[in-house]
Amino acid sequence: MGLLRRVARARLAGRVIRRLRRAGFTDARYDRHAFQVRFTAPGDDVQTILELAPLLAGRGKRRRERVDRFVTGLLPAHGLPRTWAEARPLLRPVLRGATPGAQLRRSVLPFLSEFVVIDHPDTMTYVTPEQPGGWGVSAEEVFAAARANLSGAVLQGMATEPVVVRFVDDGDAYWTSHLLLEHWLERLAEQVGGVPVAFAPERGTLLVTADGSDHLRGLFAQAEEIYAKSSRPITPMAYVGDGDGCTVPYVAPRGHPLHGAVQRAERVLAVQEYTRQTAHLAEAAHQAKAGALAGTAAELLLVGSDRSGWRTRAIWERDEPVLLPTADEVQLGDEICPWADVAAHLSEVPGLDPPRWSASHWPAR
C-alpha cells in the first residue's frame, strides 16, 4: 500500500474517532490493519466495529459529509447536555457489572458498580469521568442527582401470604436501579409478605419475595437461568436491606437451607465478571496498553456441587508471571491448593475491579 493511501486512510479514521469521542465514546480506537474503528456503544457490553472502507468514496467536502452522516446515524438523536441545569433532570443511576470502560462509575456491591446515564426518551448515554467537571460539579453530586431522579415507587396493597413480585422495566422505570436507593427495598415488606429479598438477573427484570418463603429457593434457580440466557445480565445473587437501609448481599451461613444456593450464585457472578475482565485485559495487551500489567490473566472456573459445596478455582498454568483472580483455590499445574497457601506470595494489582493479584513464579511447595 502506498504512502498516500495510508495517510488518507489514517485521516479518515481520525475524523471518525474525533466525532465519536466528542459524543462521549472515549474508548474509540483505530485498527489500521483491519481498517476498522472500534468503540463501545451506550448500554452495550461488547465493542461495535465500524468498517471504514465504504467511506473512502469521494474526496474533500463530499467525503467529510459522508463521514458526518455515517457517524451521526450511530449516535443518539439527542445531543449531550452542555450545562448542569440541562443535565441534572436527565440523570439516572444504573447497576451494572464492574466491567472496565470509559464511564463514570463507583463500586457498590461485590462485582457490581453504579454508573450514571443521561436518559432520553429513546436512548441513554453513559456519563464519562470528564463530564462532571465540564458541568462544574463533582462526581458525587452527579451520583446523588441521579439517585434523586428515581421515582422511588412503592406498590399498593398488602399480601396475606408470601408472594413473588416481578417488576418488568418498560425502559423508563429503572426498577433494578431502585436497589441503589436507601430503604427502598424494605418498604416492599407488606407487598411481598415478609422481609424482602430481591434478584436483579438482567437489566429489565427485578424479582422480589419474602425471606423464609417457599418461593425463595426457586427464585435462585430462576434468577440464574435468566442471568445465563440474557444478553444484558446483571447478577444471579440475592439482596436484602441492612440496618442502615442499604442493599447488601443475602447471607446464608453454613447449615442454612439456602447456603448452597447463595454460595453458587456468588461464584457464578465472580466467574462471569472475571471472564469479562480477562477479555478486556487481553484487548488492552493487544493494543499495547497493559502498562504495568505484566503477566497473563489467569482463568477462573466454577467447581464443586450442591453436595460438596461450590468453589472458584484460579488456573495458573505455567511457571511465569500471572494475574490471578481472587479464588477459593488455585491450581498450580496438577496440584490444587487453598488460596491461603499462595496469598502470601501475591501482590494486589492497583486499579483493577474486580481485583487481581500478581506473581512472577510459582511459590515453593
pLDDT band at 75 (very low <50, low <70, confident <90, very high): low
The residue among 365 and 247 whose pLDDT is bigger is: 247
pLDDT tens for 15-34 read 888 878 776 777 888 887 77
Highest mean pLDDT: which of 57-66, 155-164, 259-268, 334-343? Answer: 259-268
Question: Percentage of residues in the chain with pLDDT exceeding 90?
Answer: 49
Mean pLDDT highest for which of 43-57, 78-92, 141-155, 224-238?
Answer: 224-238
Look at residue 30 in the predicted model and tell me its pLDDT.
86
Task: Examine the pLDDT at 197 and tell me if it is beyond 90.
Answer: yes
Beta strands in the chain (DSSP E): 29-31, 36-39, 48-51, 91-97, 105-109, 112-119, 124-126, 165-168, 196-202, 205-210, 238-241, 247-249, 296-297, 299-305, 309-316, 322-325, 329-332, 335-338, 347-348, 356-359
pLDDT in the model for residue 361:
81
166-185 pLDDT, tens digit each: 888 766 789 999 999 999 99
Partner residues linked to 332 by β-bridges: 316, 335
Per-domain boundaries in the chain: 3-72, 84-148, 165-250, 267-359
Alpha helices by DSSP H, 243-346: 259-286, 339-343
Task: Please write the tens of the pLDDT for every residue from 278-311.
Answer: 887 776 555 544 444 667 889 999 999 988 899 9
In sequence order, which ranges of 74-175 are alpha helices (DSSP H)?
84-87, 131-135, 139-148
- Residue 231 or 117, more confident: 117
Residues 6+ apart with CB under 8 A from 243: none
Q: Which of 31-35, 223-227, 231-235, 241-245 has the lowest mean pLDDT?
A: 31-35
What is the reported pLDDT for 319? Answer: 74
Lowest mean pLDDT among 10-19, 203-212, 286-295: 286-295
How many other C-beta atoms are found inside a 10 Å radius of the C-beta of residue 260? 20
Which residue has 456441587 as its cell numbers? 305
Confidence of residue 77 (pLDDT cuts 50, 70, 90): very low
Whole-number CA gyration radius for the chain: 23
* Among the listed residues 328, 316, 326, the one whose alpha carbon sits nearest the alpha carbon of residue 349: 326
- Report the DSSP beta bridge partners of residue 145: none
